[in-house]
C-alpha cells in the first residue's frame, strides 16, 4: 500500500480484513451517516488493494422497525419473519451507500451447516475468493429466516470469527459502541482506563467484561472477546473498537480507539482451523494412556493399537473427537477408516490391521497433519 498507512504499526502487510458491525451501529439514531462512513472507508480499503469482507447484523432489527415491534421477539418464527422482511431493507441500504463509491457488493447468507460440511465449506471458500477476484465486497449475515437453534451461530461475533478463519484474514475487526477493552466499565466509571493491546485472552480478561445488551442485540462484549480468542488461537489478530462514534479507518490506525488482541505465534492451516473450530464431530475414538501421551506430548499420529473404544457411526474422512481414558477430549482429527473398520482393528498392530482389512491406504487411523490437539 502506498501513501498514508491504513493500519496501526502492529498490523503489517494486511491484505485481507473481515469487519463485523453490530445492530446498534446500523439502527440507532444517526445510522444513515454511520453506514455511509462505513461504506466509504470499506471502499477506500478495497481501492487500496485490501480484500474486504463485511459481516453485518441488523436484519432482524430492520424487520422489527418495519413491523412496528419495540423489542426483539422471543419466538423463533417471529424472529425469522423479522429477518425475512429486514434483510431486503438492510441490503438496499448497503447497495445505495456502496454504489455511491462505485463499489460492488455481494450478499452471502449462512447457517452453521454451511461451515460444518467440508464440501460446503470448501465451496463457500471458493465463492469468497471469486468475489474477491471480481473486486466485490461480500456482505455476510446469518440466514436468520431459516436458522433454528441446532444450526444457528447464536451471534454474528461467532460468525465473523468463522469467516475470518475461512478466508485466512490478516485481521478481524469487531465494531461496537466502545473503544475496545477497559479495566472498568467506561459507561459507568469515569476513571476507566483503555487497554490498547492484549497479548492473550485469559480467564481474567473475560471477568473484566460488563455486558450491555439492548432490545435489538443478542451479543455483548463477552461474545466479542470469545471471537477474538478464537481467531487469535488460529493465528489471526483481532481489533475491537468504536464503530459507533468513530470511523473505521480511525479504529484501524488509532490505538486509543480500539484494543488489539495479538495472535498466537503458532500458525495453523485452513484444514486444521476447520477441524479445531468449525467441523462437527461425527463420533469419537477413546485411546489408551500410551496413545494419549504420544498425541499430546510427542506429536504422534494415532494408530489402531492405541484405540480402546469407538463411539458413534462415521465414515472415512469424517471428523471425530479423540478421548483419553478419563473421558476428556484431547484432540480432534479426520479419520482414515470408518467406525466399523476401526471397531474391527482397534488394539491391533499394523501387521494385524492389514490382515483384517486386506489392502489398506494408510497405516495411521488419524494422521498428525489431520489432527488438532487441545
Residue 203 confidence (pLDDT): 54
Residue 143 confidence (pLDDT): 85
Q: What are 371's strand-pairing partners?
A: 333
Burial of residue 359 (number of CB atoms within 10 Å: 0-12, 13-18, 19+): exposed
Q: Which three cell numbers stand for residue 39?
A: 461504506
CB neighbour list of residue 192: distance below 8 Å, 6 or more residues apart: 182, 183, 184, 185, 186
Give the right CATH number for 16-272 from 3.40.50.2300, 3.40.50.1000, 3.40.1160.10, 3.40.50.1220.
3.40.1160.10
Would strands 238-242 and 258-261 be described as parallel, antiparallel, or unpaired?
antiparallel
Question: How many other β-carbons are positioned within 10 Å of the β-carbon of residue 82?
Answer: 25
Sign, CA dihedral 35-41-44-48, equals negative
Question: Strands (DSSP E) along the chain, which ranges?
Answer: 16-21, 51-56, 104-110, 136-142, 171-176, 181-182, 194-195, 197-198, 238-242, 258-261, 283-287, 307-311, 319-323, 329-334, 371-373
Residue 209 confidence (pLDDT): 60
Can you give the pTM of this predicted structure? 0.84
Give the model confidence (pLDDT) of 284-299 as tens digits.
999 999 999 999 999 9
Residue 2 confidence (pLDDT): 46
Phi then psi for residue 101, to 5 deg, are -115, 20
CATH superfamily of 281-373: PUA domain (2.30.130.10)
Residue 215 confidence (pLDDT): 44
Q: What is the pLDDT along the chain (374 residues), one digit of tens a residue?
A: 445 678 999 998 899 999 999 888 888 888 889 999 999 999 999 999 999 999 998 888 899 999 999 888 888 889 889 989 999 999 999 999 999 999 999 999 998 888 888 889 999 999 999 999 999 999 999 887 776 554 466 688 999 999 999 999 999 999 998 888 888 877 788 888 999 999 877 655 656 665 554 444 445 788 899 999 999 999 999 999 999 999 999 999 999 999 999 998 777 888 888 999 988 899 999 999 999 999 999 999 999 999 999 999 999 999 999 999 999 999 999 999 999 999 999 999 988 998 899 878 899 999 999 999 98
Residue 101 confidence (pLDDT): 98
Domain ranges of the chain: 16-272, 281-373
CA-to-CA distance for 56 and 72, rounded, in angstroms?
Answer: 17
Residue 113 confidence (pLDDT): 86
CA-to-CA distance for 107 and 91, rounded, in angstroms?
Answer: 8
CB neighbour list of residue 244: distance below 8 Å, 6 or more residues apart: 24, 25, 28, 34, 175, 176, 177
Polymer length of the chain = 374
Residue written as grid cell 466399523: 340
Amino acid at each position: 500500500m502506498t501513501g498514508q498507512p491504513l493500519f496501526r504499526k502492529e498490523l503489517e502487510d494486511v491484505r485481507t480484513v473481515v469487519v463485523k458491525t453490530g445492530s446498534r451501529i446500523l439502527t440507532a439514531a444517526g445510522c444513515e451517516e454511520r453506514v455511509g462512513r462505513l461504506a466509504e472507508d470499506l471502499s477506500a480499503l478495497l481501492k487500496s488493494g485490501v480484500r474486504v469482507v463485511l459481516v453485518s447484523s441488523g436484519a432482524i432489527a430492520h424487520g422489527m422497525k418495519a413491523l412496528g415491534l419495540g423489542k426483539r421477539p422471543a419466538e423463533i418464527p417471529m424472529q425469522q419473519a423479522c429477518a425475512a422482511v429486514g434483510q431486503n431493507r438492510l441490503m438496499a441500504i448497503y447497495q445505495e451507500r456502496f454504489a455511491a463509491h462505485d463499489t460492488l457488493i455481494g450478499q452471502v447468507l449462512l447457517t452453521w451447516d454451511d461451515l460444518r460440511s467440508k464440501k460446503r465449506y470448501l465451496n463457500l471458500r471458493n465463492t469468497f475468493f471469486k468475489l474477491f477476484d471480481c473486486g466485490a465486497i461480500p456482505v455476510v449475515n446469518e440466514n436468520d429466516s431459516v436458522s433454528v437453534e441446532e444450526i444457528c451461530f447464536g451471534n454474528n461475533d461467532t460468525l465473523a470469527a468463522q469467516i475470518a478463519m475461512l478466508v485466512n484474514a490478516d485481521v478481524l475487526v469487531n465494531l461496537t459502541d466502545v473503544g475496545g477493552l477497559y479495566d472498568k466499565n467506561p459507561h459507568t466509571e469515569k476513571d476507566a482506563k483503555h487497554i490498547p493491546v492484549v497479548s492473550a485472552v485469559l480467564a481474567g480478561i473475560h471477568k473484566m467484561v460488563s455486558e450491555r445488551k439492548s432490545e435489538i442485540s443478542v451479543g455483548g462484549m463477552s461474545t466479542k472477546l470469545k471471537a477474538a480468542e478464537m481467531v487469535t488461537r488460529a493465528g489471526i489478530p483481532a481489533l475491537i473498537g468504536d464503530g459507533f462514534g468513530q470511523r473505521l479507518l480511525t479504529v484501524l490506525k488509532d490505538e486509543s480507539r480500539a484494543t488489539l488482541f495479538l495472535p498466537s505465534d503458532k500458525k495453523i492451516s485452513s484444514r486444521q482451523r476447520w477441524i479445531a473450530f468449525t467441523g462437527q464431530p461425527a463420533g469419537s475414538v477413546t485411546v489408551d494412556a500410551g496413545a494419549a501421551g504420544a498425541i499430546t506430548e510427542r506429536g504422534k499420529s494415532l494408530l489402531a493399537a492405541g484405540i480402546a473404544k469407538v463411539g458413534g457411526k462415521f465414515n472415512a474422512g469424517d471428523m471425530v473427537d479423540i478421548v483419553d481414558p478419563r473421558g476428556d477430549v484431547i484432540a480432534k482429527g479426520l479419520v482414515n477408516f470408518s467406525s466399523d473398520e476401526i471397531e474391527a482393528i482397534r488394539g491391533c498392530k499394523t501387521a494385524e490391521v492389514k490382515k483384517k482389512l486386506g489392502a489398506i491406504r494408510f497405516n495411521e487411523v488419524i494422521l498428525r497433519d489431520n489432527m488438532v490437539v487441545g
